Amino acid sequence: MFIMASGITLLQVSANPYLAALGSAETASARLNLAGGFNSLATVIGPLIGAHFILSSSEAQRGAEAVQIPYIVLAMFVLTVAGIIYFYQLPILSIESKSAPKKGAWKFKNLRLGVVAIFLYVGAEVTVGSFLINYLSLENIAGLSEQSAAKYVSMYWGGAMIGRFIGVAFLNRVKVTKALTVVSIIAFLLVTISILSSGSLAVWTIVAVGLFNSVMWPCIFPLGIKGLGEYTSEGSGLMIMGVVGGAIIPLIQGVLADYWSLQASFCVALVCYAYLVYFGIANEKMEAKG
């Protein structure tokens, strides 16, 4: 698992800035959104395929032997893709910046703000998805069984997938900073309504958050590495490190849920979305100053 995670990290560090640079800066978010859409699609169908192979095995076969064939097939597929990329002549891109100071990537304000933004965005997205089943099981929310609540979790992540494909079209026409600010405000309002309400309203507002999470990554990432020039790869690595928020933010919410209540603990997500609103506005001002 460590080797797989390391490989995925290296892929993210190289692929995200490459996609951002593979065309004009104005359309970078749309390209990242398209890639994110396929990533979400794999997130949806991957577990279904795995469940078909693994859970369909007899009780005696379940365990290490049950996952051998799926992982072998997956490894062969990855090697095939790697071979195609190796032999296919991809464009060689050089990212230049006339104003890049020789002080390292961390000296760029937009990068520092971007790392925090990625940390909080991933944290908010994961923590909402992680606590959704328990949240919908509350009597004052929906009182659903875990099996029934799991369907809404699929809707939450499915909304993120749909939103990413839809976002490919409108991110080419809307300023990235404004798009990020608007979707962050909407996500903030949806979580607020869910915290203060109950029943169907609380259910559907929290599930709808997934749709507006969808375009945040492709907005945050290019803003974070914008203007880094020769430090783009270094900055990309720092941005990817921010995904650790997906492990830390849910822990914070879990602690608050024990002290307060599960419904009130979603205030953690509110803090995350409030910062993303600030990040969008701050980048808008930086762009205005030139």
Closest alpha carbon to 18 in 39, 2, 32, 8: 32
| pLDDT greater at residue 130 or residue 45 | 130
| Structural domain count of the chain | 1
Output the pLDDT for position 60.
Answer: 47
Tell me the mean pLDDT in the region 146-167: 89
- 267 contacts 282 by C-beta, under 8 angstroms: no
User: Is 255 part of a structural domain of the chain?
Assistant: yes
- Whose structure tokens read 């390391």? 6
Supply the range of the domain harboring residue 167: 2-56+91-289
Q: What is the largest CA-CA distance in the chain?
A: 66
Q: What is the pLDDT of residue 147?
A: 83
Task: State how far the Cα of 67 lies from the Cα of 47, in Å rounded to an integer.
Answer: 12
Arithmetic mean of pLDDT, 180-204:
97
Confirm whether pTM is higher than 0.85. Answer: no
Mean pLDDT of 261-281: 98
The most confident of 86-90, 135-139, 218-222, 241-245, by mean pLDDT: 135-139
Question: Does residue 248 lie within any of the structural domains?
Answer: yes
Residue 80 lies in a domain: no
- Is residue 67 situated within a structural domain? no
Decide if pLDDT at 170 tops 90.
Answer: no
Closest CA to 225 of 139, 120, 106: 106
Contact 179, 232 (CB under 8 A): no
Tell me the pLDDT tens digit for each residue of 121-148: 999 999 999 999 999 999 999 999 988 8
Confidence of residue 98 (pLDDT cuts 50, 70, 90): very low
Q: What is the CATH number of the domain that holds 273?
A: 1.20.1250.20
Q: What is the pLDDT of residues 46-72, one digit of tens each?
A: 766 666 666 555 554 556 666 777 788
Burial class for 177, CB neighbours closer than 10 Å (0-12, 13-18, 19+): buried
Helix (H) or strand (E) holding 172: none
Predicted pLDDT of residue 100 = 47
Per the domain annotation, does 86 fall within a domain? no
